[in-house]
Amino acid sequence: MRRNSCVFAFGAGLLATASLSGIALAQQAPGADSVDEPQASEIVITATRQNTSLADTAAAVSAISSQDLGPGGIQDIGDLQSSVPNVSIGDQFGVNRTFIRGIGMTSIDLGADGAVAFLQDGAMISRPAAQLAGFYDLAQIEVLRGPQGTLYGRGATGGAINLITAKPTEDLSGYIRGTYANYDAVTLEGAVGGSLIADTLLFRVAGKREKRDGYGKNLFTGSDVDNRDAYAVRGILEARLSPELTASLIVEHYEEDDNNYAFHYFGPTIVPAESLPHKLLGGETIFDYYTARGEKPNLRNIYSDEDPINKRNGENYTALVEWDSGDFNLKSITAYRDFSRFNRTDLDVSDVWMYGQNNYVEDANSFSQELLLNYKSGGLDILAGAMYFEEELYGEVKVPTINLGLLFGLPADTFDDGNYFQRGTVDTKSYGVFAQAAFDLTSQLRVTAGARYSYERRKGVGQFTFEAAGIDIPTDRKKGWGAITPKLLVEWRPADDTLIYGTVTRGFKSGVINVGSANSVIDPEFVWNYEAGFKQQLADNRILLSGAVFYYDYTDLQVGFVNAQSIVETINAGAAKNYGAELELSGRVNDNLTLNAYAAYLNAKFQDFCNGYYGAAVSRPGISYDACPSDPALADLDGKRLPNAPKFSFGAGFDYTVDVGPGELTLGADMSYQSKVYFTEFNNSDAAQGGYALVNANLTYKHESGLSASLWARNLTDKFAISNNIVTAPTFALVRVGSVIPPRTYGFTLGYAF
């Protein structure tokens, strides 16, 4: 099975060693037929809009099984980056920021969309903030890397992540699991399902409750930060109306109410610490707090007059109807989602109120309908679909300008009745139709050709107010965009256990109208992807070795930042070129040993892109930029690395199982490494995270009765690393704030499955 993280810190050479040793051991392993672990040819992938085996899917795709989810394993979206090549994940303002092959969500404006399609059972979860809900009772997670313009259309230029919920079974089955961990963490999770009416009407109910103390403290107020208090419940009803026709209804509710997603202060950039605005009120930061005590700062803590607030809840309704006659398969996916959140952070990073209280409100509801038709006969395979999506989004960003007068040499309360205030609605309507046909030219050669037409229209109604600057303007805008995204795929099978493929695809991310933003309408971004890869099954198909090389040609890449007027802005970068390679190995060597490993290389750089550098007016040793050819006042960023695009990532892990009495004992361990990443387009050291490794381990005993017990630990070395970092507005002296990865966690889990 595939362990989470699974990364080796010894480089790509160890990957080859693991591959060769795994093959040799597998060839010598006795009793291979008795292995009940699913082989690569048995793992079914649905993210490609068809049911295909992992080994036969001509795409860069990773599948993570239910065995690797839960306490000690992958528990939320953030854990995926240590399990899948070329994936980097962080959060900001309580919003998911997932990057695949250097492409992801760069905008920090309210209402911004990601560049990775995020789905549950094939239905889109459009709001990036809603994607941070934890995982529970999932059968599988699929990560599809590369632009998916034909299959998904808008918003999938980076790739797609599909969560597959566990479905009802005919026999009564389920599990219950309880975990106690450090930080006084208690997690209860369980599910039960079976038949209500003799294999005709089936059900499954699942739930999860999480509560733990914070990974840090607000040393000024004494409150926890980055704690968690959440619960979720899901019910599934499945009706088998005939041998060909199945209908399912999935209903889900979740809530969070805690002090999660705190802004951590990482220090100043171009303005010295002694000149930061809060000093005008005698304020102190986390660095001042520790300096006064002669201690090294622990940046998991904050020192703020404002506690972070995180309140969010959501309801999801998904209806799945599938008719399968053998040659024909028709599927309908209907979904309605309602999501709301309130987040508060402190932008002035101090123990005084220096116009730093940052309040976010987001209320969204969306409806989507998709129809998929698949026809297979002989050497012909036709896949076609149509979709409709609409979303109504209301949002607010409100920063009361308390004490802002001091910044201008005026009485402190001059602007106390004012605000920096973005508010309004954005209504989105999207349509798409696609078709692709695959046909066998020979018994070994198959060609797939297809295209999609997408159209999206957005209408924004709102107001942008910055009273201290005398700004109070309407932000009403509307615009639509259309795009054709073709695909060509060639597959060659020189042997039954070998697949070699090459593909050309185009991706499209629609234009943007952000909530209450003074920003002009942002144009769509486009990417052409040229990719070649292979799948090789080894050792009687128990081990799968996969690889891919790719080249991206990006135009009008959307990039977000805070401009010189302290206003959030998103622009279209001129171009970018991404190229890289990936290698994955996973499988069972013998009845006892499972290995997995991966390595990835990524070169992702801007081209023909100029922007205003936030430190242009300050002379700093070692920092210089060429003047933009078209505007000498801007910095030429040609050749700078894209944000959140590590050059190298690699890793490995193992599980070793032995029989102990009437059960089995499994020892597992894995490591992951990610090289240096930059968080802004300027590639400065004041917004970067150096390379780091994570180590995880677990020991699990499973009794034949269904009882299990597990000891586990994640981030064993207690590595501190920044997962996301922004440079704030000039009004806040361009300080660095962001989020951090979880510290070392360890715990004990008891479970029972039936």
Per residue in 112-128, pLDDT tens? 888 899 999 999 999 99
Q: What is the mean pLDDT of the chain?
A: 89
3-state class (DSSP) for residue 274: helix
Torsion angle of the four alpha carbons 216, 218, 223, 224, in this order, in degrees rounded to the nearest 10: -20
pLDDT band at 6 (very low <50, low <70, confident <90, very high): very low
Asked whether the predicted pLDDT for residue 731 surpasses 80, the reply is yes
2 domain-assigned: no
Task: Please report the DSSP string for 463-503 in residue order.
Answer: EEEEGGGTEEEE--EEEEEEEEEEEEEEEEEEETTEEEEEE
| Mean pLDDT to the nearest integer, 383-389 | 97
Smallest Cα–Cα separation from 672: which of 692, 656, 654, 688? 692
Q: Tens digits of per-residue pLDDT, 153-201?
A: 888 999 999 999 999 999 999 999 999 999 999 999 999 999 999 889 9
Assigned domain for 232 exists: yes
Question: Regarding predicted confidence, which is higher, 109 or 628?
Answer: 628
The Cβ of residue 502 has, within 10 Å, a number of other Cβ atoms equal to 15
Q: What does the block give as tokens for 737?
A: 């704030």
- Tokens representing 62 are 């990773």
3 state DSSP class of 652? strand
Residues whose CB is less than 8 angstroms from the CB of residue 10 and which lie 6 or more positions away in sequence, other chains included: none
Looking up tokens 């599938």 gives 322
Phi and psi at residue 296, to the nearest 5° = -75, 135
The structure tokens listed for 253 are 């509710």
Q: What's the start-to-end Cα distance of the chain, in Å?
A: 20
Closest C-alpha to 182, from 752, 750, 743, 751: 743
pLDDT of residue 132: 87
> Structurally, how many domains does the chain consist of?
1
Question: What is the Cα–Cα distance from 685 to 737, expressed in whole angstroms?
Answer: 14
Contact yes or no for 357/263 (Cβ under 8 A): no
Query: Are residues 744 and 718 in contact, defined by beta-carbon separation less than 8 angstroms?
Result: yes
Q: Is residue 459 part of a domain?
A: yes
Residue 78: predicted pLDDT: 85
Joined together, the tokens standing for residue 398 give 């409100």
In a domain, 5, yes or no: no
Task: Identify whether 6 is part of a domain.
Answer: no
Percent of the chain scored above 90 by pLDDT?
Answer: 71
Question: Which residues are CB-contacts of 295 (< 8 A; sequence separation ≥ 6)?
Answer: none
Decide if pLDDT at 366 tops 50: yes
Whether the predicted pLDDT of 9 surpasses 50: no
The answer to whether position 496 is within a domain reads yes
Provide the residue count of the chain. 754
Asked if 426 and 513 touch (Cβ cutoff 8 Å), the reply is yes
**What does the alpha-carbon distance between residue 660 and residue 204 come to, in Å, rounded to a whole number?**
32
Give the DSSP letter of residue 661.
S
Domain-located, residue 4: no
Higher per-residue pLDDT: 715 or 573: 715
CB 342 within 8 A of CB 287: no
Q: Rounded to an integer, what distance in angstroms lies between the CA atom of residue 684 and that of residue 641?
A: 10
Q: What is the 3-state secondary structure (H, E, C) of 668-707?
A: EEEEEEECCEECCCCCCHHHEECCEEEEEEEEEEEECCCE
> What is the enclosing helix (H) or strand (E) of 438?
strand 419-440
Q: How confident is the model at residue 34 (pLDDT cuts 50, 70, 90)?
A: very low
Query: What's the confidence (pLDDT) of residue 415?
Result: 95
pLDDT at 134 over 50: yes
Mean pLDDT across the stretch 531-538? 96
The secondary structure element, H or E, covering residue 18 is helix 12-28
Furthest C-alpha separation in the chain: 83
Name the pLDDT band for 107 (thresholds 50, 70, 90): confident
pLDDT at residue 227 greater than cutoff 80 = yes
Residue 629: band (very low, low, confident or very high) from pLDDT cuts 50, 70, 90: confident
Residue 60's domain comprises: 12-753
E-assigned strand segments in 182-327: 185-197, 201-212, 216-217, 224-225, 228-240, 245-258, 264-267, 309-324
CB atoms within 10 A of CB 410: 12
* pLDDT-based confidence at residue 26 (cuts at 50, 70, 90): very low
Residue 90: predicted pLDDT: 82
On whether residue 723 sits in a domain, the answer given is: yes
Here the CATH number for the domain that contains residue 680 is 2.40.170.20
| Average pLDDT rounded to a whole number, residues 702-729 | 95
| Residue 348 · residue 277 · CB < 8 Å | yes
pTM: predicted TM-score of the whole model, two decimal places: 0.89
